[in-house]
Structure 1
Amino acid sequence: EKVYVLTGALTYIAITLVLVLASPGVDARGMVLAAMVVLWAGRLGSFLFQRIRKHGKDDRFDELKPDFARFLNTWTIQGLWVVLTAALAWVAITSDKKVGLDGFFWAGLLVWAAGITVETVADLEKARFKNDPANRGRFISTGLWSKSRHPNYFGEITLWVGVAIIALPVLQGWQWAALISPVFVALLLTKGSGVPPLEKKADKKWGGQPDYEAYKKATPVLVPRLK
């Protein structure tokens, strides 16, 4: 599981750096996009690695490990995840079309910064909560988690939307197809391996408890409530 997490993060970083080095004339927009991918992958990879090292496992693999074929298939899916998630950034980095640091760049940078900040803070809040023995068997409903049941995923989707905004001005021809990236991330997290299994697990563990049912009723699944 540790190898799986590190492989995913290092693949993002390695491919991004190779594209930068192999592409002549990468401009400021391309360099910033590359830095965004590297920073995101490095942070997420190190966070997940430390979490697995502390707890000894990743719960996501519990149902997969008994079935070798399904467990092996996760590596294939990981390759697809890497390519589809970062495709838009990679296409923009290597695009022949060059555009100065315009409004799209600054707007996208702001959105990306907001997204990675939310994701990072949410992850740290949950890690701190789970590391406190007093919270054993309880669900988190404080900080960003009082505004959204999955603020980390909201941050993740937001940061890739930021990447898309920055990339827009340099896309041309077939490259527009790479806009599938933020759509893929959103669908993966809201319909696939993100929200659904976690909601199912939470319902199984705390469903029927008045405090949990009240929290679930008052707190949006993804987009944080501002009040």
Structure 2
Amino acid sequence: MNDIPWGDLALNLLAVIAATIVFIGAIMATAIKIKNQSIIDIFWGPGFVVAAVVSYLVSARGDGNDTRRLVVLVLTAVWGLRLGAYIGKRNIGHGEDRRYTSMMRQRKDQALIPFLIRRIYGMQGGLIILISLPVQFAMYQSEAIGIIGSIGIAIWLIGFLFEAVGDWQLARFKADPANAGKVMDRGLWAWTRHPNYFGDACVWVGLFLLALGAPWGLVAIVSPIVMTKLLTSFSGKAVLERGMRRSKGEAYEAYVASTSGFFPLPPRRNKTVTPS
């Protein structure tokens, strides 16, 4: 435990905190100007890219393995930029998401900026800083990627494919007018109700394994735990499925009965998904 680069890690964390505050602050200022708080969703993924770039630059004079550092930077950037581009293409031009509109109605006479920081931007920024810990830690590990790191890359790739392919399949499904009112139950969506969320969780498990070049990297396990909890219990799966049950009714209940809720499993037989 004596080889932990406490000073370097602390400096890196401070740099990531500062960069995240500036990044999130710029998004908040823009959202206030255009009166659309939901643009924060577009910049969720790119926020991690900011943390990765800052960590890569700050760690340049450290003892971190250059291959590990570059791999972690590239993997984080590919994931974050793809996610931001996908959500941007999906959301731009459709106005403010009703979740944020409902949240803004609760402000009443509260001061705007403190309200936004407390309800939206402070939490988003804090999560970026916390969840990006594997990215930060990996930049200061001198060991070669090795077997554990290679497994991490493989899990990242599986996750990225699940997320990207799942999003692509869903976008194509929604773009077809013939599917109006139907439940998406094809492709990866026949194996899990949330291939994109499952993929997201795998991405961060993979990045965590890349932070295990040294035993102290175990501290970063908080990252995939928090991300998976968010995806399954808070802003992800739980919220989405409540809305789907309201909008799709029996069709979605049939889908739930026949399809795994998170981890991909073969579709169960006698699936009878019909238009709502």
How much has 1:84 moved relative to structure 2? 1.9
2:262 equivalent in structure 1: 222
Contact 2:134 2:210 in 1 (8 A): no
Asked if 1 retains the 8 angstrom alpha-carbon contact of 2:51 and 2:129, the reply is no
179-188 vs 135-144, which moves further: 135-144
Matching of residue 201 in structure 1 with residue 243 in structure 2: yes
> How far does the alpha carbon of each residue in 1:108-157 deviate from its partner, in whole angstroms, 9 at most, with x for none?
11110010000000111111111222222222111111111111100110
Quote the residue 1:85 is aligned against.
131
Q: Which residue number in structure 1 is paired with residue 166 of structure 2?
A: 122
SS of residue in 1 equivalent to 2:185:
coil
**In the alignment, which residue of structure 1 is the partner of 2:89?**
50
Task: Kindly provide the amino acid, as one letter, of the partner of residue 53 in structure 1.
Answer: I
DSSP-derived class of the 1:138 partner: coil
Please state whether the residue corresponding to 1:169 is helix, strand or coil.
coil
- Report the secondary structure of 1:64's partner residue: helix
2:183 aligned with 1:139: yes
The 3 A distance-change label for structure 1 pair 191 and 101 is same
Per-residue Cα deviation, 1:148-182 (whole angstroms, up to 9, x for no partner): 1111100110111111112112342xx53222000
If asked which structure has higher relative contact order (CA below 8 Å, sep 6+), I would say 1
1:75 is aligned, of 121, 145, 153, to: 121
Q: Secondary structure at the match of 2:205?
A: helix
CA spacing shift, 1:212–1:19, aligned 2, 3 Å: closer
In the alignment, the residues of structure 2 paired with residue 162 and residue 7 of structure 1 have an alpha-carbon distance, to the nearest angstrom, of: 22
Cα deviation, residue 30, structure 1: 1.5
Match among 12, 20, 33 for residue 56 of structure 2: 20
* TM-score, length-scaled by structure 2: 0.74
Structure 1 length as normaliser, TM-score?
0.88
Out of 220, 225, 229, the residue aligned to residue 187 of structure 1 is 229
- Residue 17 of structure 1 aligns with an amino acid whose one-letter code is V
Q: CA deviation at 1:28?
A: 0.6
Q: 1:40 to 1:14 in 2, by over 3 A?
A: same
Q: Tell me the SS of whatever aligns to 1:98.
A: coil
String of CA shifts for 1:52-96, please: whole Å, max 9, x gaps: 015444344343232336655111111022112211111211x2x
Kept in 2, the 8 Å contact 1:33–1:163? The answer is yes
Q: Is the 8 A contact 2:152 2:208 kept in 1?
A: yes
Displacement of 1:3 in angstroms is 3.7
When the two chains are superposed, the root-mean-square deviation of aligned CA atoms in Å is 2.0
Pairs aligned (count): 221
Match of 1:162 in 2: 206
- Max Rg structure: 2
**Percent identity over paired residues:** 30
CA distance in 1, matches of 2:196, 2:47: 22
Unmatched runs of 5 consecutive residues or more in structure 1: none
CA deviation string 1:9-58 (max 9, x = no partner): 44322232122122125421121011111111100011111110154443
Do residues 153 (structure 1) and 192 (structure 2) align? no
